[in-house]
Amino acid sequence: MSIIEAIIMGIVQGITEFLPVSSSGHLAIFRGILNLDLDEGILFEVMLHFGTLLAIFAVYYDDIFKLIIEGLAIVKDFIINVVRAGNNLFAKNKKEYIHIIHTPYRRFVMLVIVASIPTGLAGLYLKRYIDGFFSNLLIVGIALLVTGSLLYVTDKIEIGTKEEEKTTYKNAFVLGVFQSLAIIPGISRSGSTIVGGLLNGLSKSFAIKFSFIMSIPPVLGATLLELKDVRGATYSNMFSAPYLIGTLISAVVGFICIKTLIVLLRNRKLHYFSYYCFVIGIITIINSFRI
């Protein structure tokens, strides 16, 4: 792989991972255009996804740091309660249990966990059935039209006010279902989860923050699973110049696109992407009948 090819793929990943136009389909298209080896392509896409994860950490580093700290505190308090439960079975003086979820960020941690449940189940049990969709242009085209429809109605949804404190676990689970739709090539993960958040009454700022932060567990898990399909000899490419440059480009472009998406959502301009998805979806469907 040349450095130019790596830069192109990094730009494509950085743009399509966060702007709501579906990254999976675009990466497959450009992998074919550049004639990348399958094993090389898988490992390189893992690196590109790592780059976009870095972009999320860069934008929301303060929130993610607090979530990690509070997540560890939840585990600590849970262990303490388990120990106290065991001691209380035999002790005369019963100790009170710690109220574990008592801060907004601890609640945020639990919301992310709940949202990850349907996404994880979809990845485990449905992915093998959906992998074939990547080569089915008709399905990809229809999925792009679905993404376009979701984006078109986004700016017409009445904006809610829910932040971490008022977002329910049911809301989080529903967002996880929306996120699991992105396993279908052509369905935008960011687009579907942002729409799902707005439909559930989340504020614009929290909808987009939750959308990106809740993507960390499934994206990280999916990239680790993809590594098992990479042949051992290909790992030597991981620290080559093209791979590192592609990862850096993916992170930088991803950072810019997250910031851009925040502004577009705030100004109710997200529907602009629906026209792109409609055009590409129609072209893809037409091409599916010509092949």
Reported as a pLDDT band with limits 50, 70 and 90, residue 122 is confident
**DSSP category for residue 230:** S
Highest mean pLDDT among 10-19, 37-46, 209-218: 209-218
pLDDT value, residue 107: 94
Arithmetic mean of pLDDT over the chain: 84
Query: How does DSSP classify residue 2?
Result: -
For position 124, what pLDDT does the model report?
80
pLDDT for position 65 = 95
What whole-number distance in Å separates Cα of residue 40 and Cα of residue 45?
8
Torsion of CA 197, 203, 206, 210, to 10 degrees: -10
H-helix segments, the chain: 3-18, 23-33, 38-59, 61-88, 104-125, 127-130, 137-154, 169-180, 189-199, 204-213, 216-227, 241-266, 272-290
pLDDT in tens, 79-96: 999 999 988 888 888 888
Judged against a pLDDT cut of 60, whether residue 291 lies above it is answered with: no
- Greatest distance between any 2 Cα atoms in the chain: 79
Q: Is 35 left (phi over 0), alpha (psi -120 to 50) or beta?
A: left
Mean pLDDT computed over 1-21: 81
Give the global pTM: 0.84
Residue 4: pLDDT band with limits 50, 70, 90 = confident
Q: How confident is the model at residue 235 (pLDDT cuts 50, 70, 90)?
A: low
Q: How much is the average pLDDT of 271-280?
A: 88
Tell me what percent of the residues of the chain surpass a pLDDT of 90: 32
Banded model confidence at residue 234, pLDDT cuts 50, 70, 90 = low
Q: Give the count of alpha carbons within 13 A of 198, CB side only.
A: 21
Of 154, 164, 264, 155, nearest to 206 by C-alpha is 164
> Does the pLDDT value for residue 39 go beyond 70?
no
Buried b (16+ CB within 10 A) or exposed e, 38-66: ebbbbbbbbbbbebbbbbbbebbeebbeb
Please classify residue 172 by burial: count the beta carbons closer than 10 Å to its beta carbon, then call 0-12 exposed, 13-18 middle and 19+ buried.
Answer: buried
Residue by residue, DSSP assigns 85-103 as HHHHTT-SSPPPPP----S
CB 200 within 8 A of CB 172: no
Q: Is the pLDDT of residue 219 over 90?
A: no
